[in-house]
Amino acid sequence: MELSELTPILLQGAWITLKILCLSLPVAGALAFIAGLTRLFAPTPLRQIARVYIEFFRGTSALIQLYWIYFVLPFFGLNLDAMTASVIALGLNIGAYGAEVVRGSVLAVPKGQYEAAVALNFTPWGRLWRIILPQSLINMIPPFGNLAIELMKATSLVSLITIGDLTYKAKTLADATLQVGEIFGLVLLIYFVMAQAMAFLFRWLEARLGRGLDRGGLRS
């Protein structure tokens, strides 16, 4: 097959990859903030639950987590379709790494900012949302960008539960045509382009957020 014939098929798979990415990112982001802030500010029992979640999903294989959610949970009466299982598994895995980014970024805010917020009579909730998080968010953007790219690459795992993503399409084409070099070379290029687009997006977001902090006088 010519590249002009291979490319549309691979782009169909790339669309599925982007769909999984766009669904998994909000899940991972929400879990990262919930678990990260829970570890810092919640009562001790909740902190321990968050810690167990973080350590478990960082310390075990993302592939095995995906298999458990898709293949094992049905034995306990919870049947999930392949797309839902993929989004949950990837979101849980990357969210655990993101939680440590959130925790570290909040802890990196200078102590003087906390003291100033107390002196201005902010409530604990007000200190967090109006002073601490806006400053810590700028520190989260670069590692969050890296995690988003890792999530995009991790979507290749879903090909193992028969979702027709970019990797699945490439393997199917390679088996059918034996054009391994051309197909996987093109796949590398597609993944690279998607990763660079995401890196650009996060750099733009970091710059925009930095300007916002400067205008608000919150840059420490």
131 has pLDDT over 70 = yes
Residue 199 burial (C-beta neighbours within 10 Å; 0-12, 13-18, 19+): middle
Query: Could you read off the pLDDT of 146-155 as tens digits, one per residue?
Result: 999 999 999 9
3-state SS of 85-123? Answer: HHHHHHHHHHHHHHHHHHHHHHHCCCHHHHHHHHHCCCC
Torsion of CA 196, 99, 51, 45, to 10 degrees: -160
Per the CB < 8 A criterion, the answer to whether 117 and 131 are in contact is: yes
pLDDT, residue 150, reads 94
pLDDT, residue 215, reads 61
pLDDT, residue 212, reads 64
Q: How far apart are CA 75 and CA 89, in angstroms?
A: 17
Mean pLDDT, range 160-188, rounded to an integer: 90
Which region among 79-93, 111-125, 164-178 has the lowest average model confidence (pLDDT)? Answer: 111-125
Phi-psi region at 167: left, alpha or beta (left = phi > 0; alpha = psi -120 to 50): alpha
216 has pLDDT over 70 = no
DSSP-derived 3-state class of residue 141: helix
Contacts of 135 (CB under 8 A, 6+ apart): 109, 113, 213, 218, 219, 220
Query: Is pTM beyond 0.85 here?
Result: yes
pLDDT, residue 116, reads 73
Copy the structure tokens of residue 16. 């599925």
